[in-house]
A and B are shown apart, each in its own frame.
Chain A
Amino acid sequence: MKLRSALSLAGPIAALSLLALGPSGCGRPAPHVVVYTSVDEVFARPVAESFTRETGIEVRLVPDTEETKSTGLLNRLIAEKERPQADVFWSGDPVRAALLKMKGVSAPYRSTRSEGLPREFSDPEDHWTGFSARARVLIYNRNLVPEGREPRSVMDLLDPRFQGKACIANPLFGTTSMHAAALFAVLRDEKAMAFFEGFRKNGGKMLSSNGEVRRRVADGEMAVGITDTDDANVARLEKKPIGVVYPDQGGMGTLIVPNCSVLIARGPNPEAGRAFIDYLLRPETEEALARSDAAQMPLRKGVPVPEGVTPLDRLKPMAVDYETLAPRLTSLFWVIEPGKELTAGFLKEWAERAQ
């Protein structure tokens, strides 16, 4: 009797589960596009839903986030290269898009809707196209940093007034890794290494993610940190006592991190993939992303932006060649000399010490 009771419970559950494993529908599947994205789901999904409303094409979104450092989507895209499931990769930064190009995962596509987008934020061979951007900014806690003593440059993190009170995210991951590569490109190796070493000497903390930097500065545990504009905006919306500074406006400039659309080579729905990219690159999408909690800055001139979003033409961007950042980053992780022992590159070794 006991076993019968167990089976009467387990039977229907197993049957329902097996039914749920089966194909979701019969006959021809509805038109759809598979979009992998490293943009946070809370920001990407509304755009995907509005695309579906306007075109009738269902978006099967596979989100990830570069912030949380899962063994994520980029690995999946690379591993699926021979027979991809994805049609489009909507990247939160150009380094990962450039990496896909290096690995032969992407296909060139120049959208007719990319007119007006500055070419310096896109791949010259059209493997990825940059649109709405975030920036790498300094955030500080207004209760801990008096007026007039705000940081103005990333180099201010080495200042004794922020001793033991400055933080950055792990430079092996996400936009912080891109920022590190950009610093090495712009400042050159010696100065960039001095920056990272000086940061540690000044008692700077390496945290797990940009979100953690936002949280610890907003909570007053840290006085200042480097993060992305979308993180800073979330803290602003939560009415935390933070201030935001676009760094180095009198010097090397602020690093701009554009979103990138990437068409996947041999994707199963190429037409729908192109349609989705066209949709992403419209001025209306830039406007929508500017109005979202991410408060992304449009790259096009003249796209209306809400209060609190700084347009690109009011900033001095850091002059970097995005295409070269991916290989530079690899060299910062590992020193590879043929026939010799693999040794940790500067950043990897620095991150291990910082932990």
Chain B
Amino acid sequence: MMGPTMDCTVLERPGRWRAAATIAILSLAVLPAVPLLGRSLAGVTDGASFAGPGFLNALGGSLAVAGAVAANAYAVGLPAGVLAALYEFPGRRLLLGLSTLPLIAPSFLWAIGWSKLAAWIGPRAPEALSSLGPHLVFGALTVPLVLWASFAATSALTRSQIDAARLAGGEKAVLSNAARQAAVPALLAAVLGGVLTLSDAGPDQIFGSNRVASQILVSFSALHDYELAGRQCVLLAGAVLALALPISVLAAPRIAAAALPRQVEGPVRLRVRTAAVAGEAFFLAMTLLGTALPLLGLALPLLDETGFDRAFAIAERTLGDTLVYAGVGGTVAVVLGFTTAAAVGREHRLRKFAIAFSIAAFSLPPSLAALGVIRLASQAPAGMDFLLRSKATVCLGHGLRLLPVAFFLGLRSWAGMPPSWALAAAVHGVPPATYIVRVVLPHLAPAGIAAFLLVALLSAADLTTVLLLHPPGASSLSLSVFTVMANARESLVASLCLIYFAFALTALVFGWAATRVVSPTRKEGTPPPKERPAR
């Protein structure tokens, strides 16, 4: 039974529980890393150098690469997302889908593709690739994040808002308003993408670049000096936090504007020639650089021979566990991320803190938390193995690591909900449980599915968490590709890569279909609007 004060407005009212719940859930994301971080910082009193020589240079270089990746992705993803949301052009849906493809495979796979393509082109191409490669791979991974954030933000504009802008200043005003609406979510997405590059050492291993991720990897893998690696991670997180603070201050109040309850009709896409040409050009360039060219590089060895028999055997052994890690990891991240978003609500100070904390936590390499979990498990009684040494451990590892991704999408979706809905429900005596099931969850469902898909794809592509935490005999497909890619025949590696790609693509198509099933915006049978000329 609900008490007399527990009405639907509790979801909108301020309260101390919000800060407590937000801190509790977000702390979970860094909790496994805390023992190692604590020991690392304690080591400084012994006179050991804080992060080792050369680290600060690498940190500067990495931040520069991350900044450039974020800026480029912003410059490409924002206009592309806005154009795709506002205008109709041939193949728009297909091109939108294709633009997501870089996200479905691990970064090292694309790096291999580029590397093989460069070798095929000629002897000078690999030289050029060593500096350009990280930008190409990380840029291709970050652009879809920015694009979809911009697309979602623009799609949240109502038809009346767009019509008003068009009447006031034509297409220029529409574009300008839409870009303003999408600017902050796109910025957050670009920052997340940039931060993601900081702890990803995969492409460095292929292109031979010396970034902070490689330095931490050397400390972990070659030197087995966990304390040093821990201190390097602290320094990295500190630098990211310093950069994230102003962004969170800027983003927190503008991440989403609550819609008015009657503004339910979404924008109608028009056919405007200039916009169509620009949209097509953006998307074709993205598809070519993000997917087509590296995929061609991956497939080149198949011209000589194929290795599909062996590759299918590996896929058969690992596909089930990959799906479990991705599916449950995605579920954990969505549940925790959206709960945090609900706890943060519309409190700006809490939102600033949560955004900054999430970005900093996201910069920590996954190995830090994974090694913390291993140590915990080795000291815990065997009875805890079901949680600390099982497939559930991998899923929790993924869910907690990628919680910030789901949190940002949840935050946006929650903040876009009209607060008057809760008020109206309370006035009419609707029980909170009914309100949540009938109103809140359907509103959050599209963002929830998008977050689930994104986290699931990133989980499926993860290597470190799976390598360090998977129970013996329960590897994942991406880890299998990683463990055979050095010494196996190129045809086997190429076959495995293509199988991985096909598998992820299928999952993406299913997810896309699911999003369309639950999308609340469109009514079938609505006649298309009349075409308007561009001004």
Chain A residues within CB distance 8 Å of chain B: 2-3, 5-6, 9, 13-14, 17-18, 20-21, 23, 34-36, 40-43, 60-65, 67-76, 78-86, 99, 170, 172-173, 177, 206-212, 215-216, 219-221, 230-231, 234, 237-238, 293-294, 330, 333-334, 338-344, 348-349, 352, 355
Q: Establish whether residues B377 and A74, one from each chain, have CB atoms under 8 Å apart when the complex forms.
A: no
Residues of A within 8 A of B142 (CB): none
Distance in angstroms between the alpha carbons of A14 and B334 in the assembled complex: 13
Residues of A within 8 A of B490 (CB): 215, 238
Q: Nearest chain B CB to A336's CB is how many angstroms away?
A: 9
Chain B residues within CB distance 8 Å of chain A: 47-49, 52-54, 119-120, 123, 126, 204-210, 214, 217-218, 220-226, 228, 304, 310, 320-321, 323-324, 327-328, 331, 367, 371, 374-375, 377-379, 382, 386, 389-392, 395, 437-438, 441-442, 445, 449, 463-464, 467-468, 470-473, 475, 480, 482-492, 514, 517-520
Distance in angstroms between the alpha carbons of A74 and B490 in the assembled complex: 26
Q: Establish whether residues A341 and B49, one from each chain, have CB atoms under 8 Å apart when the complex forms.
A: yes
Given contacts A14-B331, A344-B53, contact A68 B486 (CB under 8 A): yes
When C-beta atoms are compared, the residue in chain A nearest to B50 turns out to be A342
Q: Find B484's partner among A18, A40, A344 (CB 8 Å cutoff).
A: A40
Residues of B within 8 A of A42 (CB): 310, 484, 487-488, 492
Q: Establish whether residues B47 and A339, one from each chain, have CB atoms under 8 Å apart when the complex forms.
A: yes
Q: Establish whether residues B472 and A355, one from each chain, have CB atoms under 8 Å apart when the complex forms.
A: no
Q: Establish whether residues A75 and B468, one from each chain, have CB atoms under 8 Å apart when the complex forms.
A: yes
Q: Establish whether residues B324 and A208, one from each chain, have CB atoms under 8 Å apart when the complex forms.
A: no
Q: Nearest chain A CB to B122's CB is how many angstroms away?
A: 9
Residues of B within 8 A of A80 (CB): 374, 377-378
Given contacts A21-B324, A70-B221, A237-B489, contact A2 B520 (CB under 8 A): yes
Q: Find A68's partner among B218, B449, B483 (CB 8 Å cutoff).
A: B483
Q: Establish whether residues B483 and A64, one from each chain, have CB atoms under 8 Å apart when the complex forms.
A: yes
Q: Nearest chain A CB to B226's CB is how many angstroms away?
A: 8
Residues of A within 8 A of B331 (CB): 14, 17
Given contacts A61-B473, A73-B467, contact A333 B517 (CB under 8 A): no
Q: Establish whether residues A177 and B222, one from each chain, have CB atoms under 8 Å apart when the complex forms.
A: yes
Q: Establish whether residues B224 and A78, one from each chain, have CB atoms under 8 Å apart when the complex forms.
A: yes
Residues of A within 8 A of B492 (CB): 42
Q: Establish whether residues A208 and B520, one from each chain, have CB atoms under 8 Å apart when the complex forms.
A: no
Given contacts A2-B520, A64-B483, contact A219 B119 (CB under 8 A): yes
A selection of 12 A-B contacts at a CB cut-off of 8 Å is A3-B442, A6-B445, A6-B514, A13-B327, A41-B483, A68-B485, A69-B217, A73-B467, A74-B221, A208-B204, A234-B489, A352-B210
Q: Nearest chain A CB to B356's CB is how many angstroms away?
A: 27
Residues of B within 8 A of A355 (CB): 208-210, 214
Distance in angstroms between the alpha carbons of A334 and B51 in the assembled complex: 13
Q: Establish whether residues B468 and A3, one from each chain, have CB atoms under 8 Å apart when the complex forms.
A: no
When C-beta atoms are compared, the residue in chain B nearest to A342 turns out to be B49
Q: Establish whether residues A21 and B486, one from each chain, have CB atoms under 8 Å apart when the complex forms.
A: no
Residues of A within 8 A of B49 (CB): 341-343
> Besides the contacts A20-B321, A21-B324, A75-B224, what 16 more A-B pairs have beta carbons closer than 8 Å?
A3-B518, A18-B328, A21-B391, A21-B392, A35-B472, A71-B217, A75-B371, A79-B378, A86-B472, A170-B208, A206-B208, A208-B205, A209-B205, A215-B490, A238-B489, A348-B218
Residues of A within 8 A of B483 (CB): 40-41, 63-65, 68
Q: Establish whether residues B472 and A34, one from each chain, have CB atoms under 8 Å apart when the complex forms.
A: yes
Q: Nearest chain B CB to A115's CB is how many angstroms away?
A: 30
Q: Find B222's partner among A23, A82, A172, A231 (CB 8 Å cutoff).
A: A172
